[in-house]
Amino acid sequence: MPVLSIQQAAVYARQAGFSGDNLVTILAIAMAESGLSSSVVNSIGATGILQIYLKVHPDVSSQQAKDPAFSFRYAWKLSDGGKNFCPWQSYSSTICGVGWDNRWKQYIPQVQQALGTNAGSAPSTPTFITTAAKKLGKTYSLAANQTMSDFLGNVDGAFDINNPFDIDTSSIQDNVIGVQFTDPVQWLNQLGLNIMSDTIAIVLRLVCIILGVYILFRVLDHYLHIVDTVQTAVKMGAL
């Protein structure tokens, strides 16, 4: 069945773990990305009902990407259990950034009607502050951090801002390469916005690293008196 109905796609999505608002969201994204076609392959090789970009995800084969059951299970993993839908360009530009186009919204009423849910309102989408607060609750819970590695990983995840070093650009490339933007001025403008947002993210990450190193030094100095030791050593050397 190359093209699924909303109800058929919902069966696969529920089996993968989606429910409630995130079920509506992933189905709307699937409609925006592929029209619920499980066999579609776009111009850069993104494949299947959820347009998995095989070059970015080498652990997925073309046959797997065309299997809707596998695609929704993989989407559950990519979305961190239905919490982050930024791997798909059709999702919210408010949450993900300037490269996303909000196409998912136009399919929400159809999905809600097919599922028998409220067709008058869009599913709630977590803001950066709400998402970060939930992650911070896990980050600073001793029970959730059995090792220092887990702790540092959770801290990094709590302040993750579309990490420019690890981003799936599979669908954004359609715009940047020129498939959708044929006007050179539009193409350069989109490229500039992407570079600017990535640069800002890198700068913010560097600022956090520098502050972290400074705070760590001050804590160590408080207990080990590093500055006083260095000053004493310098004075003694001068004598």
One domain, residues 95 and 203: no
One domain, residues 205 and 115: no
Q: Is 122 part of any domain?
A: yes
Q: What's the pLDDT at 192?
A: 67
Q: Is the pTM of this model over 0.85?
A: no
One domain, residues 116 and 221: no
Structural domain of residue 202, as residue ranges?
181-238
One domain, residues 91 and 195: no
Number of domains in the chain: 2
pLDDT digits (tens, 9 = 90+) for 28-38: 999 999 999 99
Q: What's the pLDDT at 104?
A: 94
Q: What's the pLDDT at 38?
A: 93
Q: What is the CA radius of gyration of the chain?
A: 23
CATH code at position 80: 1.10.530.10
Q: What's the pLDDT at 157?
A: 57
One domain, residues 212 and 117: no
Three-state DSSP class for 3? Answer: strand
Q: What's the pLDDT at 28?
A: 96
Q: What's the pLDDT at 144?
A: 41
Segment holding 46, helix H or strand E: strand 46-47
Q: What's the pLDDT at 114?
A: 93
Asked if 159 contacts 139 with a C-beta cutoff of 8 angstroms, the reply is: no
Q: Is 228 part of any domain?
A: yes
Q: Which residues in the chain land under pLDDT 50? A: 119-120, 127-130, 132-146, 162-182
One domain, residues 114 and 207: no
One domain, residues 187 and 96: no
**Residue finishing a domain among 126, 141, 169:** 126
One domain, residues 187 and 118: no
Q: Is 140 part of any domain?
A: no
Q: How many CA atoms lie within 13 A of 177 on its CB side?
A: 10
Q: What's the pLDDT at 188?
A: 63
What's the helix, strand, coil split of the chain in %, to 5? 60, 5, 35
Three-state DSSP class for 141? Answer: coil
pLDDT digits (tens, 9 = 90+) for 134-144: 444 444 444 44
